[in-house]
Amino acid sequence: MLVSLCGIQFKRSTRRVRNIRGLLSFFFVCFVATPSVWGTDENGARGRSWKTVSELSPEELTSVDLRTDTPRHEQFSYLPAEPYPFSPPYTAEEMGYRMMEFTQRPRWSCALANLFGSISSEGALLGLGRAVNLIAYPGDDGAAVELVRKPGEEVYRQLTQQLFPPEAYTSQTLVIRYRTDQQFVKKEDMFSYSPTLRRVRHQNSMRRNDRFPQMALTLDDASGRSAWEYSWTLLGTDVLFETVRFPVTRPQITITEADGTHRERATRDLKLMGDDYAYYTPSNGVRCYVLEARSRADWLPDYHASRVLFWLETHSFFPLRTETYDREGKLSRVEVRLTKMVHAALGERGYSPFIQVYWDVASDILTYNIRDGIRLMQWSPTDMLTYFSPDFMRRQWYLVPVRSYLGVERPEEFYLRPGLEPGKFPEHRAIQLSEALAERIRAQDAAGRLVFTGQLTATAPVPVKQEQ
């Protein structure tokens, strides 16, 4: 059975597909949008959660500015003329700039536990690691500082000190991030220290079109995107009820607080924007603007992504969901996030990434990245010169001990693939899956955990005792 949600004619012939199943196994097709394949049913018990721009009410339209041609900055013509962080109503472009506050790392100086790892469709755990990240910014002004920096000037420094696996212990990496434009395109310098070689090496910059080895994310996913490299369109609004999906095998997790204490939490009680968020719907949903960002050929020639869709929380513009589409317009990667308030003094800018899950659709590789136990730090000028320099890594000093217990140790405990919900904005979302991948998703959703190639008949959930 072949069914399309993307404008392709419906065709059904059970006998024909059964006869030529082997010949069609390599084709990518769109399947029926049932919850067993696609995750959360966006038109289910809660009703339709999304609106196009044409469906927004007059009250909703008061918060948005639908103009695409706005006054420009005197010095940098690719920036809006209105000073950051802008004021409502917001254009889609201004929302894109506000989103720059929230990369994969906090926008302020801190120390945190960094946990990461991937899993293949066969159930192989790949590249599991734990580290302590030390991040140094010149101040707490976030993206506002980056916008006024001259191209080539430094934005922040990050020192990563590896803890796990054992063979990586005392390995360290220093990243220096720069402000970019069309002339200065280098996003970062990276230096690494290997205890085996006992030397610091300057690494070649990673190409922005490449994924990290054994991971489902690229350099731009990890370091953040510059809004001026895209053209922006508001598609509408949506209410998200789910982003990161835990398996039934992980009913509880242990979270590390800023003071080093640990707290048990039921995974079913984790909220998308954390416990302190004031704008949840009665059903604990989060209202979002849905934006389309098209890569600009004059800024990103031969870029791997033709466009990116973002679900941005409507007050802070925190990105809770990101979908990347390849040059042919097909969905290639999905990123979902949980966040929480960490730096309350900064108001809506104080949200930090917490748990992030990436899914590369073509390879069916899933990757998680966790920022736990975040401690606010104030690095002095002497600290900046001493600790955040390539030569410091030779000393192998671990400056701030931060422990976390959020890593995944067994394939059965890995996060589920993000829900697809293809009924939303169908004209803008070409979602196509291979038959084999669709079968794995059906098995996953039936079992409540990942089911791997060769285990597709074992879809019964693993018994787990739930707290009452």
What pLDDT is stored for residue 454 in this prediction? Answer: 79
In the predicted structure, residue 92 carries a pLDDT above the cut 50: yes
Distances (CA, A) of 99 to 29, 375, 436: 33, 23, 35
- Across the chain, what does the average pLDDT equal? 88
Query: What contacts 442, CB < 8 A, 6 or more positions away?
Result: 36, 37
Mean pLDDT of 276-287: 97
Residue with more model confidence, 287 or 12: 287
Structure tokens at 418: 């993000």
Structure tokens at 52: 């196009």
For residues 266 and 247, what is the distance between their CA atoms, to the nearest angstrom? 12
Among all chains, which residue has been given the structure tokens 């059970």?
Answer: 14
**396, 197 Cβ separation under 8 angstroms:** no
**Residue 440, class by beta-carbon neighbours within 10 Å (0-12 exposed, 13-18 middle, 19+ buried)?**
buried
What pLDDT is stored for residue 248 in this prediction? Answer: 98
Per DSSP, 297 falls in state T
* DSSP 3-state of 228: helix
| CA 205 to the chain's CA centroid | 21
pLDDT bucket at 456, cuts 50 / 70 / 90 = confident
Structure tokens at 196: 């085996």
pLDDT bucket at 45, cuts 50 / 70 / 90 = low
For residues 452 and 442, what is the distance between their CA atoms, to the nearest angstrom? 11
Among all chains, which residue has been given the structure tokens 């509880």?
Answer: 252
pLDDT digits (tens, 9 = 90+) for 179-189: 999 999 999 99
In the predicted structure, residue 10 carries a pLDDT above the cut 90: no
* DSSP 3-state of 254: strand
What pLDDT is stored for residue 467 in this prediction? Answer: 39
Give the CATH number of domain 31-447; options: 2.50.20.10, 1.20.120.10, 3.40.640.10, 3.30.1370.100. Answer: 2.50.20.10
pLDDT digits (tens, 9 = 90+) for 58-86: 999 999 999 999 999 999 999 999 999 99
What pLDDT is stored for residue 46 in this prediction? Answer: 72
pLDDT bucket at 1, cuts 50 / 70 / 90 = very low
Per DSSP, 298 falls in state T
**40, 441 Cβ separation under 8 angstroms:** no
What pLDDT is stored for residue 31 in this prediction? Answer: 37
Per DSSP, 140 falls in state S
Percentage of the chain lying above the pLDDT 90 cut: 82
In the predicted structure, residue 461 carries a pLDDT above the cut 70: no
Domain ranges in the chain?
31-447
